Chains A and B, each alone.
Chain A
């Protein structure tokens, strides 16, 4: 049962290889779309058949613990695989319209294919080191794609920032893999999970904490979340693919995949919960204040990923979180693609340049409305069901009714934070919706609907974003519960209502004025970037400058100094050899004189 996943992973990889090697010699569009489409069909088939199993392609003997290059399909992998391929296919098709006429489209499409392949490798990997390979390729592709328009300095800086920050987490991730792998004497995920009961608490805690660093980096969780809003400098489809649906979900996916490890380390679960609470509240507030539509969505992503992380931290089952992961993937990709269409039309990222677009964008407007509904967790949209599942789990854990081994206080905290976040999410979703589509039209561009290659993926993604929630009804665990759903909807309604009232007060003004004195802090995302700049960037730069200076003055100085010393010593001798004949003759006479004196004295 490895042929299908191998094909799913391999096809986009071959497409990427072809695209990068042949580039402009062939038409890039079929190369980009067709393999992804086949991979998508295969992934859906694998998930539909409910196949599971593992296979090893080859075994690399390292002298220590062997590395098994193998793939494994389980229910989780199959589901996420479908999400990844569907979103990737939608993004590939969407990009045809979005990047029409871009001179580097072929390499762009090839990198998307490579990225898809790497993400699928992460999803289907049977071995942690193989997973890590995909993990790193993803990081590199993210770097290349965020910096797609590298002519603008800000874009390339954002790409470097994304790369460095995620790399910081990846170091921890790699060492986490080593800790767990050496403890289990194997890097196979199945072996590690089987070995968990035999491992010591210290090993598990250390390993899980280190993994958590990688998760925080990849999934943009506090404290490594700062790269994601900046990564919005990349093309919008990239934001949809990488920074909404797939790559950032990889972190959550890892926690889900290795959930038993985390369950066995309660301290790590607590840490994860606290991180998640900080992340979801802070990012939601930042989203409420941001003016850039894509940044709103980026902060929203951080916040929603934190919700998933919280769901994993308080639940002994991964289902609620994965449910939310999939529904979030669908509706956030939809939102990003819609935002792309809006930005394509308006020619600006800023909501203060939008407004009054509801009539003009006949396809984008309803689709984005569905996306915002799902994001806000309003009933019948997918977000309602998945968020409710997490809320219900948190409630159960808080009440001591099963759940993960975390302290009830933490569970209560998570529960409260989830409700607050629901209200805030509804508020910023409502704000973005109102600011974008209603009120006065603030743009001078002629507003027109996006081309069909961009419209169709939006329509296709709108369907799961709206209806995916009903799939959850099949699983008892995910069915909405009365108390939590009432509370969640009430919180969302409260947020929405407040925003609507504020907006109605003056339609031209930003409802973010609701935040009052907190607003500047929220707009700057609570000065985390500035804090990091002061704490890390500047000391590192100073140290680098010091090193350069030391290299220049000490190391080079020693070399140059020895040279100069030799030259100046030679200069002393040179005083005698200046080519002045008189000096030479003086020497000759003095020498003769000395000889004669010697002869006279001795003779």
Chain B
């Protein structure tokens, strides 16, 4: 935390430029995710968004998180979503009715949220600055942090994953009936 000397916004560092570019890619492809008329394209634009975000994490020195992001999100989540798209027999190609009638209202609410959040964030963190000198997010430091300090939540999380696994299986199988 360096409250005294906040470098000027007019002379961005190289890191900042890279981050802003990656951020622009993430936001732009996210916009495409929610506006595209093709389901599969949405999933693919989601890959771009997640990749750009992984880049952002790298710039922010969170190296391990970045790789996990690539592994889990790009590798698993998007594949899962694509399977979902296929299993629900969604049309491949343009489908005109991907947006509901709620669209205008949704845009208003989203825009208001954006304006509010951006205003508040800019107002609150104008002076916040973090010099990115040492790379501190390597697997080793994160690993030791998880297995020392955060081991209990970690175990709890594994139970949660198990529960989610069982839940997903029960929901998916047609031969398991509820107690009528």
Contact = CB atoms under 8 A, between A and B. Distances in A.
**Direct A–B touching, Cβ under 8 Å:** yes
Interface of A: 580, 582-583, 586, 589-590, 593, 596-597, 600
Given A582-B100, A596-B116, A600-B120, 19 more contacts: A580-B100, A580-B102, A582-B102, A582-B106, A583-B102, A586-B102, A586-B105, A586-B106, A586-B109, A589-B109, A589-B113, A590-B109, A590-B112, A593-B109, A593-B112, A593-B113, A593-B116, A597-B116, A600-B116
Contacts of B113: 589, 593
Nearest to A597: B116
A582 B109 CA distance: 12
Contacts of A600: 116, 120
Nearest to A596: B116
A99 to B, nearest CB: 72
Interface in B103-142: 105-106, 109, 112-113, 116, 120
Contacts of A590: 109, 112
Nearest to A586: B105
Contacts of B109: 586, 589-590, 593
B51 to A, nearest CB: 28
Q: Sort A-B residue pairs by CB-CB distance and give the 4 closest, nearest first.
A: A582-B102, A589-B109, A590-B109, A586-B105
Contacts of A583: 102
Contacts of B100: 580, 582
A600 B105 CA distance: 23
A600 B121 CA distance: 11
Contacts of B116: 593, 596-597, 600
Contacts of B102: 580, 582-583, 586
A586 B108 CA distance: 10
Contacts of B120: 600
Interface string B2-44: 0000000000000000000000000000000000000000000
Contacts of A596: 116
A580 B101 CA distance: 10
8 contacts: A580-B102, A586-B102, A586-B109, A590-B109, A590-B112, A593-B112, A593-B116, A600-B116
Contacts of A593: 109, 112-113, 116
Contacts of B106: 582, 586
User: Could you tell me the dominant secondary structure of chain B's interface residues?
Assistant: helix
A134 to B, nearest CB: 76
A596 B116 CA distance: 9
A582 B100 CA distance: 9
A107 B14 CA distance: 118
B35 to A, nearest CB: 16
Contacts of A580: 100, 102
A586 to B, nearest CB: 5
A426 B106 CA distance: 103
A593 B102 CA distance: 17
A600 B120 CA distance: 8
A137 B146 CA distance: 109
A583 B113 CA distance: 17
A597 B115 CA distance: 11
Nearest to B103: A582
A596 to B, nearest CB: 6
B137 to A, nearest CB: 31
A357 B120 CA distance: 121
A354 B106 CA distance: 96
A597 to B, nearest CB: 6
Contacts of A597: 116
A597 B100 CA distance: 27
A466 to B, nearest CB: 98
Nearest to A592: B113
A586 B120 CA distance: 22
Nearest to A589: B109
A593 B113 CA distance: 7
Nearest to A588: B109
A576 to B, nearest CB: 12
A589 B113 CA distance: 9
A593 B106 CA distance: 13
B143 to A, nearest CB: 37
Contacts of A589: 109, 113
Nearest to A599: B120
B107 to A, nearest CB: 11
A173 B120 CA distance: 98
Contacts of B105: 586
Nearest to B120: A600
A80 B116 CA distance: 110
A586 B112 CA distance: 12
Contacts of B112: 590, 593
A589 B116 CA distance: 13
B166 to A, nearest CB: 26
A428 to B, nearest CB: 87
Contacts of A582: 100, 102, 106
A589 B102 CA distance: 13
A589 B108 CA distance: 11
A580 B100 CA distance: 10
Q: Which of B100, B109, B113 has the most chain A CB atoms closer than 10 A to its own CB? A: B109
A590 to B, nearest CB: 5
A590 B120 CA distance: 17
A19 B96 CA distance: 84
Nearest to A583: B102
Nearest to B102: A582
A386 B106 CA distance: 106
A90 to B, nearest CB: 84
A600 B124 CA distance: 11
B11 to A, nearest CB: 31
A597 B102 CA distance: 23
B125 to A, nearest CB: 14
Interface string B81-112: 00000000000000000001010011001001
Nearest to A590: B109
A372 B100 CA distance: 97
Nearest to B108: A590
Nearest to A600: B120
A583 B105 CA distance: 9
B5 to A, nearest CB: 28
A583 B116 CA distance: 21
A73 B100 CA distance: 98
A580 to B, nearest CB: 7
B98 to A, nearest CB: 13
A285 to B, nearest CB: 83
A583 B100 CA distance: 10
Nearest to A582: B102
B9 to A, nearest CB: 23
A504 B120 CA distance: 126
A544 B105 CA distance: 56
Interface in B121-179: none
Nearest to B112: A593
B119 to A, nearest CB: 8
B115 to A, nearest CB: 10
A295 B61 CA distance: 121
A580 B105 CA distance: 14
